[in-house]
Chains A and B, each alone.
Chain A
Amino acid sequence: MGAMRMEQETPAKVTHRAPARASENLPRDFEGWFHDHRSAVFRYVRFRVATREAAEDVTSEVFMKALRSLHRYDSDRASPRTWLLRIARNAVTDHLRALRRRGSLHVSLDRVPDLVSDVPSQEERVIREERIQRLLNGSRTLRRGDQEILSLRYGAGLDNREIAEHLGISNNAVAVRLHRALKRLKDAVDRHNELADDYEG
């Protein structure tokens, strides 16, 4: 509340950026993992769930679970990122399961404000975001293995070698599985577009 009071007194001068600081409370390792991998976890999750808010929920859940099970982490068995992404995979599964009980997994196209693409105009941005949302919606119709590998690659930003390590399979197998997943995604999106065309036409 102190910062908010200050903002009230000098509204134009206060910047909102939270200061980078070393935590005095968290285990040092964990805090490092948080800084290094939070973004990858968030993006991995965001690739799988419908909205930024849901992705924040799930990402929070991931780190909270990780913190609770920190004593169970075994560095010989997995890297911190692999460990966190596994927790993320389970958290996403839980989230989607809960959602299926509630209703749709998809989000309407006009509410995807966090998708970013570096194009100049607002109109292009809207078109681009719509396309991206279609891709994401399409990816959610794929089997879970395909979704997993696509979100590791295009969400978390892992390269094939890292994915291979994460999944415990060969680089070649990753390339093949990714190719198949991409192909199926393309089919799903094309199918959706045809349906949309029929509907609109």
Chain B
Amino acid sequence: MKDRWDTMGLELPKEVADLHEELSSMSFEERPSFGPELLAELERQWPRVGARRPWPVRQLLAAGVAGLLMVGLGVPSARASLVRLVGALRPAAEESAPEVVSPVFQLPEELPTQLPAEELLSAEPRMPPEPPPAPVSPAPYDGPEATFPELLDREGTEELILRNYPDSLQRAGTGGTVRLALWVDPLGTVAQVDLSRGSGVPELDRAAMEVAPAFRFSPARRRGQSVGTWVEFDVRFEVPPGGVIPLDLPEVDPLGPPRVPEVPDLSLTEEWVSNLLTRPNDGDGEAGEQLRVAIDDEKLVERLCPIEAILAGEPPAGSAPTRWRSEVARALERAAARDPDNAAPLLALGRIRQKQGLRTEARILFERGLQRARRHPGVSPVVLGPLHYERGALIKEGWLTSHEGGRVPAEAHLAEACPQAQSSGGASSGYASADRLIAWNYLCPRALGDVLAEHFEGVDPRSDGDFALMMASFRAAVEAFPAHPEANLEILLALADEGRWREVVEGARRFAAATGGHAYALLMEGIALQRLALTEASRSRFDLAFQRMTPEDVDGIRDISLLLGPREQAEYQTTSGDERLAWQARFWAPLDPILSTEVNEREVEHWARSAQAFLRFGGFDTDPGEVWVRYGPPSEVRSFSERTGPKTEFWTTAPVRT
């Protein structure tokens, strides 16, 4: 097309030549099934609209109405009009009005057995399925001419909407109604979403559009055959009296122990220890097998392999991540459709969406997997547990940034105590901003400490509803699959933050028993025993843990470079292996506070700090981890409310132990 202009013998002026090129290179992708669909529709209409012409005027009106009825479900625009028209004409008392007012969540087993790949939320362009070839000679049909999509599982959909209601708006009491136009395809899934009328609150509009693809309908039918159609759908966001409803988890103490079979004897017997170091059971192998069954295409799995990478949503080395994820996502969508009893593809797909930054979609996928599991008790624990965990992890992510924190109405107090800080930052609404507090922390730390102690208006982040929801998810994960390492760890770390060390010991032992001695379980027990002043037992746990860890991670926990001056540090960094262990032994020997015991309490304390910082902040070399290792766990954490950006926390620590 680009050349055609030139063939005219005219030269395109330069100022618009680029635009011409750009427009010329643009093309539009037709849905592959659109042509055949339309052709079939035209063929069906021809005997009515073409063969009878010219129509007698008397019949025109009646034929027009019949034509509308037929065309209405055959041609999308007319379908939409017809659905709206008939919806408006239906008696109000009838429950299944096509113009649906509130929404629902169709559970998997109630869907047609051949779920469409489009069942799943997708960031990729989606192709609705090709229609079956139009019957050459349709069989006589006696049923209703047309039926309309009906919302399935209204209650479930309302719950789904509620769970996608942005927390900040709920708290602010901001609600509204978003009118969406939904293309309900012949299988009853929502294949396209358009905003018909916004609520006036962009976040609500966005939330409605994000959640809509999860709604399920019975499909529209024309002469008994399923067809796609547009429906208008009002999504209402209203804060319920009881707040957000959790998915299906009972109201429990967020930090209560998971309901798992008790380990017969939690005391540390020789037998138990000797049985501990068995093969770890993380369930990935079994979950991978389930996924393989769902995908049911060995060649594809071989190309995208390994199956563990697909399950984790992590592209294998050497693959192009974006392309790999797109291809895997398509395969998983097909697998989820093909095998509706199997939740493994939803787990893997959710992980991919999460990695793509599509958290809402990821959460919906995990929740759909859980719904699927609830309806099909055969879903394996190795899939069910991770579904709960991944959902909890997403809730945690939101909670970490959105929970409400405290504030200091102490502008005046600080101004008096720290005149140097006058020019830094500003106060908002009469309260000190986090930036200002940071400046004060540099300039007048003592004054800041006093003011915080006296005037800080704290809000416990754990009072936030999402905290309870996330902990309930982690518990459910452990209850479903007691060997889930991360879910166990989340529970233990939360208990540790509360100082509930005996419960940490018990939980860690259950965790160890379920996993055959997972290193995290042993580390957590080691930390807790040290906090309970059982240093010798603690050391034995760390020794066991070190056997289960990589040499790099062991070195990270034993590492003492943070405690060294620059010259010592330079020397220390040149060492490795046994030489480094000897260096550490020389460093710790003079610091042993109780020479009569077999262990060096100070050294074990260091391991406990390093291990907790490693587990809590997700690695070595993190800033909060460094503070934690140097100064020990904070005795008090004050978190400040800031709507945007990371949370600001002020930690108070006890004096360094020597």
* Chains A and B belong together in one complex: yes
In the complex, the answer to whether A17 meets B32 with C-beta atoms within 8 Å is yes
For window 39-91 of B, CB contacts with A under 8 Å fall at 39, 41-47, 49-50, 53-54, 71, 74-78, 80
State whether A135 touches B27 (Cβ < 8 A).
no
Residue pair A63, B42 in contact (C-beta under 8 Å): yes
CB distance from B86 to the nearest CB of A (A): 18
A92 to chain B, nearest CB (A): 12
Complex Cα spacing A154 to B4, Å: 12
A135: chain B residues at CB < 8 Å are 19, 22-23, 26
Write the nearest CB–CB distance from B232 to chain A, whole angstroms: 11
Complex contact B39–A34 (CB within 8 A): yes
A17 and B76 contacting across the interface, CB-CB below 8 Å: no
Q: Is the CB of A60 within 8 A of B38?
A: yes
Q: Mark B11-43, 1 if CB is under 8 A from A, else 0.
A: 011011001101111111111111110110111
Pair A60/B322 contact, Cβ less than 8 Å:
no
Residues of A close to B20: CB separation below 8 A: 182
**A56 and B196 alpha carbons, distance in the complex (Å):** 18
Residues of A within 8 A of B33 (CB): 16, 18
Contact: A132 with B26, CB < 8 Å? yes
Contact B28 A53 (CB under 8 A): no
Residue B192 CB within 8 A of the other chain: yes
> Given A34-B42, A157-B1, A175-B8 in contact, is the A114-B125 Cβ separation under 8 Å?
yes
Chain A residues with CB below 8 A from B32, complex form? 16-17
Q: Across the interface, do A71 and B45 meet the contact criterion of CB distance under 8 Å?
A: no
B131 nearest in chain A by CB position: A18
**Does A168 belong to the interface (CB within 8 Å)?**
no
Residues 134-150 of B contacting A (Cβ, < 8 Å): 135-136
A16 touches B12 (CB 8 A): no
| Chain B residue with Cβ nearest A60 | B75
Q: Is B653 an interface residue (CB 8 A)?
A: no
Q: Is B171 an interface residue (CB 8 A)?
A: no
Chain B min CB distance to A103 (Å): 7
Q: Assess the A2–B132 pair: CB atoms within 8 A.
A: yes
A46 close to B43 (CB less than 8 A): no
- Check: A58 CB closer than 8 A to any chain B CB: yes
Separation of A160 and B172 alpha carbons in the complex (Å): 58
Which residues of B497-549 have CB atoms within 8 Å of chain A's CB atoms? none
Give Cα distance in the complex from A6 to B25, angstroms: 40
Interface centre among A23, A150, A172 (most CB of B within 10 A): A23
B322 A185 Cβ-Cβ under 8 A: no
Would you call B38 and A70 a contact (CB within 8 A)? no
A57 near B4 with CB under 8 A, answer no
Check B19–A182 contact: CB distance below 8 A. Answer: yes
State whether A17 and B26 are in contact (beta carbons under 8 Å apart), knowing that A4-B114, A64-B42 are contacts in the complex. Answer: no
Question: Contacting chain B: which of A24-32, A74-82, A140-148, A191-199?
Answer: A24-32
Q: Which residues of A contact B225 (CB under 8 A)?
A: 1
Q: How far is the CA of A150 from the CA of B20 in the complex (A)?
A: 10
| A18-B130 in contact given A34-B39, A52-B28, A179-B12 (Cβ < 8 Å) | yes
- A155–B195 Cα distance when bound, in Å, is 25
B113 interfacial contact with A, CB 8 Å: yes
Q: Check B26–A67 contact: CB distance below 8 A.
A: no
Q: Are A25 and B46 in contact (CB under 8 A)?
A: yes
Cβ B1 vs Cβ A12 within 8 A: no
Let me know if A122 and B322 touch, CB within 8 A: yes
A contact residues around B42 at 8 Å (CB): 26, 30, 34, 63-64, 67
Q: Contact at A113–B126, with CB atoms within 8 Å?
A: yes
A17-B32, A115-B28 known; A26 and B8 CB under 8 Å?
no
A2 to chain B, nearest CB (A): 6
A68 to B7, CA, bound (A): 38
Counting CB contacts under 8 A, is B338 at the interface? yes
> Within 8 Å of chain B (Cβ to Cβ): is A165?
no
Please indicate the chain B residues that have their CB under 8 angstroms from the CB of A43 in the complex. Answer: 27-28
Are A38 and B71 within 8 A (Cβ)?
Answer: no
A137 to chain B: which residues have CB within 8 Å? none
Contacting residue for A71 out of B16, B27, B54, CB 8 A? B54
A107, A114, A118: the one within 8 Å of B28 (CB): A114
Once bound together, how far apart are the Cα atoms of A113 and B118, in whole Å?
14
The answer to whether A183 has its CB under 8 Å from any CB of chain B is: yes
B197 at the interface (CB under 8 A from A): yes
A97 on the interface (CB 8 Å rule)? no
Name the distance in Å between A107's Cβ and chain B's nearest Cβ: 8
Given A3-B132, A4-B114, A39-B30: A68 touches B41 (CB 8 Å cut-off): no
- In the docked arrangement, what's the CA distance between A178 and B303, Å? 49
Q: A114-B29, A116-B27, A186-B15 are in contact. Are A121 and B322 (CB under 8 A)?
A: yes
Q: Which of A149-195 contact B (CB under 8 A)?
A: 150, 153-155, 157, 159-161, 171-172, 175, 179, 182-183, 185-186, 189
| B318 at the A interface (CB under 8 A) | no
Tell me if A88 counts as interface (CB < 8 A to partner B).
no
Expressed in whole angstroms, the Cα–Cα distance for A7 and B115 within the complex equals 11
CA–CA, A114 to B131, complex, Å?
19
In the complex, are the beta carbons of A150 and B1 less than 8 A apart?
no
* Interface residue ranges of B304-361 to A (CB < 8 Å): 322-323, 326, 338
CB contacts (< 8 Å) of A154 on chain B: these are 1, 23-24, 26
Whether A103 contacts B26 in the complex (CB less than 8 A), given A12-B296, A27-B50, A159-B1, comes out as no
Distance in Å: Cβ of B23 to nearest Cβ of chain A: 4
**Complexed CA–CA distance, A161 and B7 (Å):** 10
Please tell me if A201 contacts chain B, counting CB pairs below 8 Å: no
A23 touches B19 (CB 8 A): no
A85 contacts chain B at the CB level, 8 A cutoff: no
CA of A148 to CA of B283, assembled, Å? 61
User: CB < 8 Å: which of A3, A117, A182, A189 contacts B26?
Assistant: A117
Known A157-B1, A160-B5; judge A1-B132 contact (CB<8 A).
yes
Q: How far is the CA of A122 from the CA of B323 in the complex (A)?
A: 7
Find chain A residues with CB under 8 A from B135 CB: 2
Output the least CB separation between B99 and chain A (Å): 15
In this complex, what residue of B is CB-closest to A119?
B25
Q: A8-B113, A11-B338, A186-B15 are in contact. Are A67 and B25 (CB under 8 A)?
A: no
Question: Is residue B633 contacting chain A, with contact meaning CB distance below 8 A?
Answer: no
* A54-B33 Cα distance, complex, nearest whole Å: 16
Whether B297 is near chain A, meaning CB under 8 Å from some CB there, is yes
Q: Is B183 an interface residue (CB 8 A)?
A: yes
CA distance A59 to B326 in the complex (A): 30
Of the candidates A38, A53, A117, which one forms a contact with B35 in the assembled complex, judged by CB atoms under 8 Å apart? Answer: A38
Chain B residue contacts of A159, Cβ below 8 A: 1, 4-5, 7-8
- Closest chain A residue, CB of each to CB of B34: A56
Could you give 26 example pairs across A and B, Cβ below 8 Å? A1-B225, A7-B114, A8-B114, A16-B33, A18-B130, A18-B133, A21-B133, A24-B136, A27-B50, A30-B42, A42-B34, A53-B192, A57-B80, A59-B38, A60-B74, A111-B193, A114-B29, A118-B25, A121-B323, A122-B326, A154-B1, A159-B7, A159-B8, A160-B10, A172-B10, A182-B16
Binding site for A on B (CB under 8 A): 1, 4-5, 7-8, 10, 12-13, 15-16, 19-20, 22-36, 38-39, 41-47, 49-50, 53-54, 71, 74-78, 80, 113-114, 124-126, 129-133, 135-136, 183, 192-197, 225-226, 230, 296-297, 322-323, 326, 338
Question: Chain A interface (Cβ within 8 Å of chain B)?
Answer: 1-4, 7-8, 11-12, 16-19, 21, 23-27, 30-31, 34, 38-39, 42-43, 46-47, 51-61, 63-64, 67-68, 70-71, 95, 102-103, 107-108, 111, 113-118, 121-123, 131-132, 135, 150, 153-155, 157, 159-161, 171-172, 175, 179, 182-183, 185-186, 189
> What are the 8 closest A-B residue pairs judged by CB atoms, nearest first?
A3-B132, A16-B130, A113-B125, A57-B77, A18-B36, A159-B4, A182-B16, A60-B75
Known: A25-B43, A114-B125; 12 extra A-B contacts, CB below 8 A, are A2-B132, A16-B130, A18-B33, A52-B28, A56-B38, A60-B76, A63-B38, A71-B50, A102-B197, A154-B24, A159-B7, A179-B13
